[in-house]
Amino acid sequence: MTEVIGVRFKDKGKAYTFATGGAKVPVGSKVVVETSRGTECGDVVEGARLVDESRMATPLKTIIRPATEKDLRTLEQNRQKEINAFKACEERILKHKLDMKLVDVECAFDNSKLLFYFTADNRVDFRELVKDLAGMFRMRIELRQIGVRDEAKMLGGLGVCGRPFCCKTFLTEFQPVSIKMAKDQGLSLNPTKISGTCGRLMCCLKYEQDFYEQEYKTTPKPGSLVSTPEFRGYVEEVNLITGKIRVKPEKSDDPAQIFDKKDVHMIREGRHDKDDKNMKNLKKLE
């Protein structure tokens, strides 16, 4: 068994597992580790626990050391360098008239490179920009184009619900979200109602989808022929949250009545396909 901890390098990012090597590193402290991107300093977000290393998908790396005062000063210097690099890059983007938006800058802990994140609608020829930045900072320069969701996660903000973005506060990675989820949940298919500030489908559509999928398996669809304690009829509307089903009598003009799901029994399944003319346009939100 090996003692391990969880280390995170970005706010609300994914936590990676490292062996402690016997060092005492409480949650909230910082440690220096070796990663595929080089030496980095991260926050301990998961306390020490024992795991069977033979069951790990990849070999565990051991932390180099708990962060020292010198390491913390290096982090502070890097943060200042990132601020300066951001301003300098924006000036060079304007100078070269490049159609791109700078989002964030990261300075490697060992000062081996500067990583610039940007968004753009099309491919950008930034070779001259890289030359300018390399000459200015005398270190390796890397520019990385990101999507609008990654931009929202980096910058943060308030969603239509009035709360901070989920991706900025607690989501560690993006989950696939589809138009079908909005349709299953009976939401308006108006793009302005189901898209987030980033312009893509809201991540929260995923949260309750398992519930809806499970309920659909045991609930008659609209258009189905069913039996109720009072008559046979066709399902007009289903409310999965309340468990209520509105049924129209089969052989009379009497108004539809509402029954509990447990009192409605399937006779013949029906189909109720709405003609969503804007479904094709909505696909681009996914």
Domain boundary among 89, 115, 146: 146
DSSP string, 125-166: --HHHHHHHHHHH-SEEEEEE--HHHHHHHH--B-TTSSBPH
More confident residue, 23 or 56: 23
| pLDDT of 270 | 75
Regarding whether 78 and 141 lie in a shared domain, the answer is: yes
- The SS3 of residue 73 is helix
| pLDDT of 275 | 40
Regarding whether 84 and 57 lie in a shared domain, the answer is: no
> Does residue 3 have a pLDDT over 60?
yes
Residue 215 lies in a domain: no
Residue 109 lies in a domain: yes
> Does residue 279 have a pLDDT over 80?
no
| Number of independent structural domains in the chain | 3
What pLDDT, in 10s, does the model give residues 55-79? Answer: 777 788 899 999 999 999 999 999 9
Reported confidence tier of residue 49, pLDDT bands at 50, 70, 90 = confident
Regarding whether 77 and 61 lie in a shared domain, the answer is: no
Over residues 119-128, mean pLDDT:
92
Residue 196 lies in a domain: no
Query: Model-level pTM?
Result: 0.76
Residue 282 lies in a domain: no
Range(s) of the domain holding residue 48: 2-67
| pLDDT of 67 | 93
Residue 137 lies in a domain: yes
CATH number of the domain bearing residue 264? 2.30.30
Residue 168, Cβ density class (10 Å: 0-12 exposed, 13-18 middle, ≥19 buried): middle
Regarding whether 107 and 56 lie in a shared domain, the answer is: no
Percent of the chain residues past pLDDT 70, beyond the cut? 94
Residue 275 lies in a domain: no
- The SS3 of residue 38 is strand
> Does residue 274 have a pLDDT over 50?
no
What pLDDT, in 10s, does the model give residues 144-198? Answer: 999 999 999 999 999 988 999 999 888 888 889 999 999 888 888 888 889 999 9
> Does residue 16 have a pLDDT over 90?
no
| pLDDT of 254 | 87
